[in-house]
Amino acid sequence: MPEHTWKVSAPVSRITTPPPASITPLLEHTTLLGKTAVISGSCSGIGAAIALELSSRGCNVVINYPYQSLELDALALSNRLTPRAIAVCADISTLDGPQTLIDAAVKEFGKIDILVNNAAIAINLPFEEQTMEHWTSLVDLNGRGTFLLTQAVLPHLSKTDSRIINIDSISSRAAPAMQTIYAGTKGMVDSFTRCWAKELPPKYGCTVNAVSPGPTMTEGFAAAGEAFIKMMQPVLDQTPVGARMAKPDEIAFAVGFLCEPRASWINGLNLTASGGLFID
């Protein structure tokens, strides 16, 4: 494999890779070649899997991470991506983080074709124990962050065949216990998707869709330990396709499908990827 040239400068960390023609073997699937995707919260978990999926289709990728402590993880992921990738430190839960991310992406690539609103956090507690601190942290990231990042991208979104994809959750419609605030914020994302799918395509030439994962074996779930997984098993046992969590790449494939040029007539869809655990 050719060597990578590392160029690091705050707040953007860049890895310059060779042009596609010099990559051996050349990617077989280049349906997104020449396009650029911004994926919030993408240095691990579902976001990282989406980055790998879109890269495998020839897409340039902007990795996003919220804290400097995650820079090495983001750089390691960026180094795996072709044709080109950068990693940008921007906290989407802040008022200026979304604009910082978009500005860095536009400075590097000039335009944005795909926005994936993935950054989110969850709290699972009895209703009585959920606090205003929980409210603020979830609403600011899951709700306001999605809102502001989408507003920030619109002036730079390609005017033809662009995509906005929101990562929702089956919690937004399944309404599980102990997820009052989380399910509420994902309900916001669900409604954002429907509103934007009607309003934005005529003005910006985009489609707007959502992907709603069920339980997915991310680093966060794995770190919760065997006791938590055992507690989750009765829920997983209800999944028709198999009594397990999803793999992140299974969710990423759903996103990749919606990004394809041939998916241009799909708009306003909330694509549930839960193995049938939730069927609306």
What pLDDT shows up at residue 4? 39
* Whether the Cβ atoms of residue 39 and residue 61 lie closer than 8 Å to each other: yes
User: Per-residue pLDDT for 2 more than 50?
Assistant: no
The Cα–Cα gap between 148 and 7 comes to 29
Range 169-188 average pLDDT = 96
Q: Which residues are catalytic?
A: 182
The Cα–Cα gap between 124 and 138 comes to 12
What pLDDT shows up at residue 65? 98
What pLDDT shows up at residue 18? 42
User: Per-residue pLDDT for 9 more than 70?
Assistant: no
Give 162's pLDDT tier (boundaries 50, 70, 90).
Answer: very high
Range 266-277 average pLDDT = 98
The Cα–Cα gap between 176 and 182 comes to 10
What are the DSSP E strand ranges found in the chain? 5-9, 12-16, 36-39, 60-65, 85-89, 114-117, 162-167, 206-213, 270-273
Rg of the chain over all Cα atoms, to the nearest angstrom: 18
What pLDDT shows up at residue 17? 43
What pLDDT shows up at residue 132? 98
Give 12's pLDDT tier (boundaries 50, 70, 90).
Answer: low
Phi-psi region for residue 276, left (φ > 0), alpha (ψ -120 to 50) or beta?
Answer: left
Give the range among 3-7, 101-105, 166-170, 257-261 with minimum mean pLDDT.
Answer: 3-7
Q: What is the DSSP string of 57-72?
A: TT-EEEEEESSGGGHH
pLDDT digits (tens, 9 = 90+) for 94-137: 999 999 999 999 999 999 999 999 999 999 999 999 999 999 99
Q: What is the value of pTM for the model shown? A: 0.90
Listed residue (182, 187, 198) closest to 269, CA to CA = 198
Give 224's pLDDT tier (boundaries 50, 70, 90).
Answer: confident
CB atoms within 10 A of CB 212: 26
Q: For each of the domains in the chain, give its residue range(s) and CATH number, in order of start.
A: 36-272 (3.40.50.720)
DSSP code, position 261: G
DSSP code, position 221: H
pLDDT digits (tens, 9 = 90+) for 17-67: 444 443 334 444 799 999 999 999 999 999 999 999 999 999 999 999 999
Q: What is the DSSP string of 59-121?
A: -EEEEEESSGGGHHHHHHHHTT-SS-EEEEE--TTSSSHHHHHHHHHHHHHS-BSEEEE----
